[in-house]
């Protein structure tokens, strides 16, 4: 499956794509929350057509169990990819839609950064448009330097998280950069 390398206008099919992905995941992660996060979860927000999915587990002790279940489903575990508290996976060969899949512990910084940013952008049209404009400005990097694309959004993401009240982990520790 080819990785999408463009920022496009919001597509009302994205929530439907998420539901299809969730349906395929459900037999492997029964009992855990499967949540649509990222830009495609924000109506009206321009985004890469990549569905971001968090599988939320209630405790760190359950992470290895979920990693095993996802491996059975054809996903390959990629570690935290430099973001503590977030385990990432590559797609199985029969994936229905391109997506990023993560396992996060409920209330940890990685989980809250996803949810706080998503919810803020859903509620604040001006910040949603600022974020879309920044992504469009950086979109040319998607075909040459995805790391620079992500880094280029970093300061604005930090600002938006701070405006939203920040995401504090359940243990009261600070917030991570999304």
Q: Domains of the chain by range and CATH?
A: 14-163 (3.30.460.10)
166: left (phi over 0), alpha (psi -120 to 50) or beta: left
Q: Examine the pLDDT at 54 and tell me if it is beyond 90.
A: yes
Residue 175: predicted pLDDT = 38
Element (H, E) at 21: helix 14-29
Residue 168: predicted pLDDT = 61
Please state the rounded mean pLDDT for residues 79-108. 95
Q: Are the CB atoms for 71 and 56 separated by under 8 Å?
A: no
Contacts for 117 with CB less than 8 Å, ≥ 6 apart: 157, 160, 161, 164, 167, 178
Q: Which residue has the tokens 């992905």?
A: 21
Residue 178: predicted pLDDT = 39
What pTM did the predictor assign? 0.91
Q: Examine the pLDDT at 126 and tell me if it is beyond 80.
A: yes
Residue 141, SS3 per DSSP: helix
Residue 103, SS3 per DSSP: strand
Question: pLDDT-derived band of residue 173, with 50, 70 and 90 as boundaries?
Answer: very low
């Amino acid at each position: 499956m080819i990785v999408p390398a463009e920022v496009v206008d919001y597509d009302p099919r994205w929530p439907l794509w998420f539901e299809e992905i969730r349906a395929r995941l459900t037999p492997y992660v029964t009992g855990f929350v499967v949540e649509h996060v990222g830009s495609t979860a924000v109506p009206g927000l321009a985004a890469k057509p990549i569905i971001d999915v968090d599988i939320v587990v209630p405790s760190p002790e359950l992470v290895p169990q979920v990693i095993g279940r996802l491996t059975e489903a054809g996903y390959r575990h990629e570690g935290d990819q430099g973001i503590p508290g977030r385990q990432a996976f590559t797609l199985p060969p029969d994936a229905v839609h391109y997506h990023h899949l993560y396992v996060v512990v409920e209330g940890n910084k990685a989980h809250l950064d996803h949810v706080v940013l998503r919810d803020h952008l859903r509620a604040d049209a001006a910040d949603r448009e600022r974020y879309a404009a920044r992504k469009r400005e950086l979109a040319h990097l998607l075909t040459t330097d995805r790391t620079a694309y992500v880094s280029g959004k970093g300061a604005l993401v930090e600002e938006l998280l701070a405006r939203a009240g920040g995401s504090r982990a359940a243990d009261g520790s600070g917030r991570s950069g999304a």
